[in-house]
Amino acid sequence: MGPQLLIPGILLAGALGVIVYTILAQADERSIVRDSLRQLEGYEVESVRDQELLVPLKERVAAPVLQGLTSLGRRFTPVGYVDNIRQKFVYAGNSTPDAVDRFLALRVVTVVLIPVVFVLVFVLGLLPVDGTMRLAVGVLLMLVLLLGPDAILNRKVGERQHQLRISLPDVLDLLVISVEAGLGFEQALDRTINAVPGPLSDEFGRMLGEVRAGATRADAMRALDERTNVPEIRSFVLAILQADTFGVSIGRVLRAQADEMRIKRRQQAQEKAQKAPVKMLIPMVFCIFPALFVIVLGPAVINISEAFGGG
């Protein structure tokens, strides 16, 4: 009797679940429509409190906190440092208006946490270590809080500039093929952008957008150089501007630039390969060699100690 009632019970529970889900979904859709009408036309808004409740909870809570932390950070931060951070965000590909504000708010939080870490580690002694280890861990945590945000931002800038640098030769090769096939520079650049996605294509697309909006090619390319701060892109921009100034064929200039960038990329790869043994030396000396010495010399040391102990 039990198995006979099990299947109808499961079907009934599933049907009830579908009905409840449908009712809740319809109610949720009605509430969304009602909230939209309230925001657009003030529908059924009876007081200022109701109007404030229409704003999402995240914006009501996070926005004032972020604004307060940002104002506090700007008050105690030099203007030159703020401009430098804003420029680094541009280099990292993040030009949103609130990027600098969020970074300053994060800096305020990390600076406030430094004395908290000091009290927890050195005054209350919450770490389960003593002596030199506690001092090292405490200093390390405070250094991470102090230098961490800038280090992360610098790493993002370096990664994006590396991506721009390594993708430039391939983009130039496609540009050369398109220009030599008879396309103009802008048309060839547009076709290349669609064929090769990535941060460099995004920057070239922004440059084309500025040209189509009315800026000259020279101004748009100089803005590209300022946004990226990559020596290879600066060399490419100067070569194109000189070709426009002196009437040199852009196809020949692009061919020369593509060959030069390819050689530079190969040289950079060879340079990294030559630096690899030097970088491997430190972990070998401090990590591999001690274990190797223990394995090789350990039995001999034990035998010698036993021999002298027995004598």
Q: What is the pLDDT of residue 27?
A: 47
Helix runs in 196-288, H state only: 199-212, 217-228, 231-246, 250-283
15 and 110, same domain (yes or no): yes
Would you state the structure tokens that stand for residue 72, as one six-digit string?
Answer: 């506090």
The domain containing residue 170 runs over which residues?
Answer: 162-265
Judge if 168 and 118 occupy the same domain. Answer: no
Mean pLDDT lowest for which of 59-63, 75-79, 176-180, 185-189? 59-63
**What is the spatial distance between Cα 90 and Cα 95, in angstroms, rounded to a whole number?**
5
Alpha-carbon distances of 247 from 124, 230, 250, rounded to whole Å? 73, 26, 8
Does residue 134 sit within a domain?
no
Residue of higher predicted confidence among 210 and 64: 210
In a domain, 70, yes or no: no
pLDDT recorded at residue 43:
45
Distance CA 300, CA 248 (A): 76
User: Does 38 have pLDDT greater than 60?
Assistant: no
**pLDDT digits over 98-148, tens only?**
888 889 888 888 888 888 888 887 777 777 767 777 788 888 888 888 899
Separation of alpha carbons 30 and 22, rounded Å:
12
Is 143 inside any structural domain?
Answer: no
Boundary of a domain, candidates 265, 283, 300: 265
Per-residue confidence band for 45, with pLDDT thresholds at 50, 70 and 90: very low
CA distance 129 to 142: 17
Burial annotation 82-116 (CB, 10 A radius, 16+ → b, else e): beebeebbbbbbbeeeebbbebbbbbbebeebeee
DSSP state of 196: S
- What's residue 250's pLDDT? 86
Please indicate, yes or no, whether residues 107 and 167 belong to a single structural domain of this protein: no
Residue 180 lies in a domain: yes
81 assigned to some structural domain: yes
Are 121 and 11 contained in the same domain? yes
**CATH number of the domain where residue 241 is located:** 1.20.81
Question: What pLDDT does residue 268 have?
Answer: 86
> How many other C-beta atoms lie within 10 A of the C-beta of residue 265?
17
- Whether residue 128 contacts residue 93, with contact meaning beta carbons closer than 8 Å, is answered with no
**49, pLDDT greater than 50:** yes
Highest mean pLDDT among 13-17, 233-237, 286-290: 233-237
pLDDT of residue 156 exceeding 90: yes
Asked if residue 155 belongs to a domain, the reply is: no
Task: Indicate whether 149 belongs to any domain.
Answer: no
Same domain membership, residue 7 and residue 112: yes
Summarize the confidence of residues 277-295 as an average pLDDT: 83
Model confidence at 163: pLDDT above 90: yes
Same domain, 116 and 169: no
| pLDDT level of residue 2 (50, 70, 90 thresholds) | very low
171 and 117 within one domain: no
**Residue 23 sits in the same domain as residue 113:** yes
* Least confident piece of the model among 43-47, 167-171, 179-183, 220-224: 43-47
Same domain, 120 and 166: no
From 4-18, 60-74, 154-168, 221-235, the region with the lowest mean pLDDT: 4-18
Confidence category of residue 160, pLDDT binned at 50, 70, 90: very high
Task: Give me the number of domains the chain comprises.
Answer: 2
Do the domain assignments include residue 289? Answer: no
Residue 119 and residue 167 share a domain = no
Instruction: Report the percentage of the chain scoring pLDDT > 90.
Output: 25
Q: Running DSSP on this structure, what letter comes out for residue 42?
A: -
Tell whether 19 and 107 lie within a shared domain.
Answer: yes
pLDDT at 266 > cutoff 50: yes
Do 120 and 179 fall within a single domain?
Answer: no
Mean pLDDT of 46-69: 63
| Amino acid in the structure at residue 14 | G
